[in-house]
Amino acid sequence: MAAAEPCAGPPAQNKPDNTAFTQQRLPAWQPLLSAGTALPLFFCVGLACLALGLGLHFSSATIRELELDYTGAPGSGHNCSRCANASAGSCTCLLLFQLPERFPGPVCLYYQLSNFYQNHRRYGVSRDDRQLSGDAWGLTHPATECSPFRTDPQGIPIAPCGAIANSLFNDAFTLYHVINGSFYPVPLDKRGISWWTDSNVKFSNPEPVDGTLENAFKNTTKPPNWPRAAYQLDPDNPNNTGFINEDFIVWMRTAALPTFRKLYRRVHEGNFSSGLPQGTYCLNITYNYPVLSFQGTKKVIFSTVSWMGGKNPFLGIVYLVFGSACILTGFVMLAVHIKYQKQNQMDVE
């Protein structure tokens, strides 16, 4: 009887190569943390964070800000109270204020809303990025996430669609410097207020039809709360209308907290290129945006900037706390190390 053949193993081609990499035989560096390496690391990181925190804190302290509430709640006696109670249509109110000190340029003008939850999940996804990028298919076939602001009752696509676009902030501000009873307009620059990646990458207008942008939006309709169509947002400036309108782009970048501010304009032109001088100013407000229905508030904020941007004391405090915690931990570890090092020496003796 012939001897039985041994069982055949798995095919050779299924075996990994017998190399140091595939067989995990490569040398590895496994650092052992000792007091000589851990303690200097804690102290160096702590000192670096303290230095950065102090720089951020003092830089933020040099930034000047002036907040003006123009909500106009009933009974507040505010000049904008009659506009806040208006049932429909735009309303104009004036806000006189004193600038207590000179604000060096460039000065930024922000608007701030409170109790407005742009971070709500259904609100945050209610947009069509394909449509906003200028895609022709997305223009006539909005995404289902835009519902109930996807189409109008007649089934015509809305452009731009979604709850974020429909709730676009549309108050307008005009600033005047008051000198001896005369009103001198302060130029407000609306260029470059959005992120470069948003205005140059994420947002784009559809291709013009017959040479006009209006024909490109011919088969669409405006959002319900908009007074005019997207291609009419800034008819005097074709480079700032439609989906590439910077006010619209700024609004579409949703905020993470219910109280937020967004950049509206910059003051750095003409006689005010060096900043806003101390004195009396008049802010002409076109009051369109209602906030009392959801117990919100509206503010206008004038602010200077520094190398770190706008005023943000929280960031400097975080670095100071973290740096102090690192140094405190280092001293605790140093005390423990010295204690047990002496104890080990006594045990050896």
Q: What is the DSSP string of 272-291?
A: GTTEEPSEEEEEEEEE----
pTM summary value: 0.81
pLDDT digits (tens, 9 = 90+) for 330-341: 999 999 888 877
**What is the pLDDT at residue 296?**
93
Pull the structure tokens for residue 252: 């579409």
pLDDT above 80 for 345: no
Parallel, antiparallel, or unpaired for β 182-186 and 260-267? unpaired
pLDDT digits (tens, 9 = 90+) for 147-161: 999 999 999 999 999
3-state secondary structure of 333: helix
pLDDT band at 98 (very low <50, low <70, confident <90, very high): very high
pLDDT digits (tens, 9 = 90+) for 314-334: 999 999 999 999 999 999 999
The CA distance from 94 to 229, in Å, is: 28
The CA distance from 277 to 231, in Å, is: 37
Instruction: Write the DSSP string, 221-272.
Output: B--TT-SS-GGGSSTT-GGGSGGG-HHHHHHHS--SSSSEEEEEEEE-SGGG
The CA distance from 232 to 238, in Å, is: 9
pLDDT digits (tens, 9 = 90+) for 239-288: 899 999 999 999 999 999 999 999 999 998 777 888 899 999 999 999 99
Pull the structure tokens for residue 294: 């959801």
Asked if the peptide bond before residue 142 counts as cis, ω within 30 degrees of 0, the response is no
